[in-house]
Amino acid sequence: MALPSDGRLVRRIVRHYLRYDRENPFIFISALLAFLGIAAGVMVLMIAMGIMNGTQQEFEKKLFVMNYPLTVVSYGQGVRKSTIERIHKHFPEMKLSPYYSTQVIAKHGSGIQGGILYGVDFAKEAALNPVFAKALDGKLGTHPPRYALVAGDDLSFSLDARLNDKITLFFSQYQAAGLGTMPLQKRFRLLGTFNSGLKAYDKAIMYTTLAAFHKVLKKAPDRFDGVHIYTENPMEKIKAVKALLPDDTDIEGWWQQNGNFFSAMQMEKKALFLVLLLIILVASLNIISSLLMTVMSRRREIALLRTLGATRREIRQIFFRLGVVVGAAGILVGTLLGFGGIWILTHFDIIHLPADVYGTSRLPVDLLWSDFFMILAGTALIVLLSALYPARKAASTDPLSVLRNE
């Protein structure tokens, strides 16, 4: 009796071995567990990587707004007005907002809170900071009062201050008072509040006018503590801007100001991927065990196929494809379940997060295609390696010894 051609024989035997065997139910159960384990591993990996990436992007978005794409800082007497004009001349598309900054203590009634006070041009700052622009909401116009104050929601709440209330700010500079000195202080009127989504910023940052710094702290109008810059491509433009700066001035990107934070998140993401990949690795052990049990229970059939003319290559292909089919089915089902889980988490508020901790009340999920293909590649590699040894074991079966002993 002639055997079918190479491809037909392999496909027919694989379909036969995938069926439920009443005499050896544990083989089918082991293969089923391997299928479920791989499907669950792929699904969990997709959702977990999507959550990690979504959380990182959410933090990037918040920090990008409050830290600005690029910031020019001075280590000398300040950023000169001529330097700002030079940057604007070479990059007219960039939005520039020069600022002063100082640490202050805010007091209203019995409430006291420390923070950072920025002196800015309200119109220029609103053009590149949407959080600040939303706080103004067109109420202050382009010529706000000299001692206007815009503060975070959490800061105004901790001070129990409402709009139009006067807040006293204590500066680190001192002024003469009788025979001694006392901290410099000035009353500002709260004319707006903002909510960036990050409590640490909303509780510490305040904005006032450049004129207030000129009057209270005697700042020179032609020198600034720094310049906030908005550009669509900060990573590409940072070197070009730096070439225009004098020696006592430097420039920082938002990613550099928070480098340790994002490095930690990247490390957590890699560690999570490796840990969850162990789920698939454990499931692959079931593929190995089920294939080895199949080889042991089908030794007589393998020997018979060999005596009828089947080659070692065909036997090896049968069991290799058998493991690949189980693994591929698990990857396919896991992918569908993963996308389904991501869709549910994205469209339904199943998990509610504390906004003051994470910056958002909804669980951010955003799976990158690079992460998705990395999951598929890692899982496929594990499946292929798991099917390789049992296939070689089956191909090494000696038909003469099997038929003589069994």
- C-alpha distances (whole Å) from 307 to each of 14, 133, 314 are 19, 83, 13
Q: Is the pTM of this model over 0.95?
A: no
Q: Which residue has the higher pLDDT, 132 or 356?
A: 132
- Span 75-115, pLDDT tens digits: 878 889 999 999 999 999 999 999 999 999 999 988 899 99
- Higher-pLDDT residue of 51 and 58 is 51
Alpha-carbon gap, residue 241 to 84, rounded angstroms? 10
Higher pLDDT, 303 or 346: 346
Residue 8 in tokens? 């037909």
The alpha carbon dihedral of 211, 213, 217, 222 has a sign of negative
Better-predicted residue by pLDDT, 172 or 82: 82
Is pLDDT at 292 greater than 50 in this prediction?
yes
Q: 259: helix, coil or strand?
A: helix
Task: Say yes or no to pLDDT of 62 above 70.
Answer: no
Residue-wise pLDDT for 173-212, tens only, equals 766 565 556 778 899 999 889 888 777 788 889 999 999 9
Rounded to an integer, the average pLDDT of 345-372 is 74
pLDDT of residue 3: 47
| pLDDT for residue 123 | 87
CB 100 within 8 A of CB 207: no
In this predicted structure, what is the pLDDT of residue 303? 76
E strand or H helix at 311, and its extent?
Answer: none
Q: Write down the mean pLDDT value for the chain.
A: 82
Which long-range contacts link 337-340 to residues 24+ away (Cβ below 8 Å)? 337/39, 337/42, 337/43, 338/42, 338/43, 338/44, 338/45, 338/46, 338/47, 338/367, 339/46
In the predicted structure, residue 4 carries a pLDDT above the cut 60: no
